[in-house]
Chain A
Amino acid sequence: MARDDAVTIAIDRIACDGRGLCAELLPELIELDDWGYPIVAPGSVPPQLIDDARRAVTYCPVLAFKLRPATTAESRASAPARQPLVARQPG
């Protein structure tokens, strides 16, 4: 479904230092490569993960994690949320 308010994750690759907080906060959409740098699932952020994505924006220590409005093509294809490797504790 295309959503007007759909957003996509945009990493500032020059600023990104591979701290990995985004993968902890948003494991459904972020995995880390062998050197700790994020690999982002393609497409827009599914609605149920928007809050987690916003937390990643806030807590990225180098402010490299950003959200931008999705393009039409991206908003049609919501990112398939992967199962997190480790179930998160509520709270």
Chain B
Amino acid sequence: MTPTRLLAGPAIPAGAETIADHRQRLGPRPRATRRGELTATLDRSGLLGRGGAAFPAARKWAAVADRADGDAVVLVNGAEGEPLSAKDQTLLTARPHLVLDGAELAAEAVGAARIVLYIGGDHANAVRAMQRAVAERDMVVPTRLVAAPPTYVAGEESAAVQFVDGGEARPTGVPPRPFERGVGGRPTLVQNVETLAHVALIARYGDAWYRDIGSGPTRGSALVTVGGDVAYPGVTEIAYGTTVRDLVAVAGGSVDRSSTAAVLLGGYFGGWLRAEQAADQPLDPRSCRDAGSAFGCGVVHVLPAGRCGVVATARILDYMAGQSAAQCGPCVFGLRAIADATARIAAVGTARSDDLAHVVRWSGQLAGRGACKHPDGAVALLRSALRTFTDEFDRHERFGVCVEAGRQGRAA
């Protein structure tokens, strides 16, 4: 179940693969031409963006290539602000040349004269590996590295563009979008690092090869970060369609009612599933969405039995409210109010009588009312929690009872 495509080659802890080893293992990087065959190959491959939104890569490339009468820019997005995700930093640290191959192919295909590597500044190993890798090769166009600030919204496309241009890493939201007007006013392809690494392999082996693995509606492989109650947390590669049960087993855990309270898929923009729902859930964007959750950036986080989903959700919402770019009223006031009310419900004995009713009502009002999708992601997670932990919310609200209360009592 564990394909080795992006992570084939030397062991991950060995650190960055050198350019010599990379070329010996995979051969030279193929060339691409503007609006050429590679974009069509990507389209046939069905490659989806891996930043979380699962937008078809080929459509993004075509949009930038078609609009760039002058030069475009490729912005390689490795900000990875999602706290539960480590797949981008792992990839950058271990396989920097795979990402750079993809970035160069993208630059050729969309007609870009510059590449910007936008890497999470607090991911020191990733930054160092990419600096060394760029120095090891002659990049096809001028390439510079910009350290992204360690905030949740810094990886949002328009926030990334604004920061690279010397502004704050806050979403701009309204049109034009980056593919129309991005870095330096140029049409800009903003693409996640994992997406570009897949491009490096698809350019070599073709779309049929890419689609050869995976089951269900989405083909190919994906990096995932498994965490929470597992013996071996970390990053691995799966074929799309792998079930949560099989993935968690590889990480030394299990998903069953006796040991697992719930599983969070997709990270803080994702959704909770009960253990019995999660076990057979195939991991791919469409199947996860159909189940009321999300594949997102490939996070699978196991909440063990005895831990409370209301408490876990309250912590995430508090973080998300704190990570608001503080630009749009519904996010500044609405998301903060939701987080505060959920925190009062979670800390038994402090909820006001109307807190849960407010949380339910507000959770239906926030989506689509920000310059970016930050509030949408946060309330999607909340709504999944309200569905998944209905009984827990009810016990918190009506009886002031939390499954963690005993633990807390003993600890105190």
Give chain A's interface residues, CB within 8 Å of chain B. Answer: 11-14, 16-18, 33-37, 39
Besides the known contacts A11-B369, A34-B337, A37-B334, 19 further A-B residue pairs in the complex with CB atoms under 8 A apart: A12-B173, A12-B174, A13-B327, A13-B369, A13-B370, A14-B174, A14-B328, A17-B329, A18-B329, A33-B330, A33-B365, A34-B334, A34-B362, A35-B330, A35-B334, A37-B329, A37-B330, A37-B333, A39-B369
Tell me whether B371 is interfacial, beta carbon within 8 Å: yes
* Contact between chains at A33 and B327 (CB < 8 Å): no
Instruction: Report the separation of the CA atoms of residues A18 and B331 in the bound assembly, to the nearest whole angstrom.
Output: 12
Residues of B within 8 A of A17 (CB): 329
Residues of B within 8 A of A37 (CB): 329-330, 333-334, 369
Instruction: Report the separation of the CA atoms of residues A14 and B329 in the bound assembly, to the nearest whole angstrom.
Output: 8
Known: A34-B337, A37-B369, A39-B369. A13 touches B330 (CB 8 A): yes
Which residue of A has the minimal Cβ distance to B372? A13
- Chain A to chain B: the 7 pairs with minimum beta-carbon distance, closest first: A35-B333, A13-B328, A37-B329, A14-B327, A13-B371, A14-B371, A18-B329
Instruction: Report the separation of the CA atoms of residues A35 and B330 in the bound assembly, to the nearest whole angstrom.
Output: 8
Q: How far is the CB of B174 from chain A (nearest CB, A)?
A: 6
Instruction: Report the separation of the CA atoms of residues A16 and B174 in the bound assembly, to the nearest whole angstrom.
Output: 12
Give chain B's interface residues, CB within 8 Å of chain A. Answer: 172-174, 327-330, 333-334, 337, 362, 365, 369-371
* Contact between chains at A33 and B334 (CB < 8 Å): yes
Instruction: Report the separation of the CA atoms of residues A18 and B327 in the bound assembly, to the nearest whole angstrom.
Output: 12
Which residue of A has the minimal Cβ distance to B325? A14
Residues of B within 8 A of A39 (CB): 365, 369
Instruction: Report the separation of the CA atoms of residues A16 and B334 in the bound assembly, to the nearest whole angstrom.
Output: 14
Instruction: Report the separation of the CA atoms of residues A58 and B174 in the bound assembly, to the nearest whole angstrom.
Output: 19
Residues of A within 8 A of B371 (CB): 13-14
Instruction: Report the separation of the CA atoms of residues A58 and B90 in the bound assembly, to the nearest whole angstrom.
Output: 51
Instruction: Report the separation of the CA atoms of residues A12 and B333 in the bound assembly, to the nearest whole angstrom.
Output: 17
Instruction: Report the separation of the CA atoms of residues A14 and B369 in the bound assembly, to the nearest whole angstrom.
Output: 10
Residues of A within 8 A of B369 (CB): 11, 13, 37, 39
Instruction: Report the separation of the CA atoms of residues A35 and B337 in the bound assembly, to the nearest whole angstrom.
Output: 10
* Contact between chains at B173 and A14 (CB < 8 Å): yes
Instruction: Report the separation of the CA atoms of residues A31 and B297 in the bound assembly, to the nearest whole angstrom.
Output: 34
Instruction: Report the separation of the CA atoms of residues A13 and B371 in the bound assembly, to the nearest whole angstrom.
Output: 6
Which residue of A has the minimal Cβ distance to B171? A14
Q: How far is the CB of A11 from chain B (nearest CB, A)?
A: 8
Which residue of B has the minimal Cβ distance to A12? B174
What would 25 A/B residue contacts be, using CB atoms closer than 8 Å? A12-B173, A13-B173, A13-B330, A13-B369, A13-B370, A14-B172, A14-B173, A14-B327, A14-B328, A16-B328, A17-B329, A18-B329, A33-B330, A34-B337, A34-B362, A35-B329, A35-B333, A35-B337, A36-B329, A37-B329, A37-B330, A37-B333, A37-B369, A39-B365, A39-B369
Q: How far is the CB of A28 from chain B (nearest CB, A)?
A: 18
Which of A13, A17, A18 has the most chain B CB atoms inside 10 A of its CB?
A: A13
Residues of A within 8 A of B329 (CB): 13, 16-18, 35-37
Q: How far is the CB of A43 from chain B (nearest CB, A)?
A: 13
Which residue of B has the minimal Cβ distance to A31? B365
Instruction: Report the separation of the CA atoms of residues A14 and B173 in the bound assembly, to the nearest whole angstrom.
Output: 8
Q: How far is the CB of A91 from chain B (nearest CB, A)?
A: 32
Residues of B within 8 A of A11 (CB): 369
Q: How far is the CB of A53 from chain B (nearest CB, A)?
A: 18
Instruction: Report the separation of the CA atoms of residues A16 and B328 in the bound assembly, to the nearest whole angstrom.
Output: 7
Residues of A within 8 A of B362 (CB): 33-34
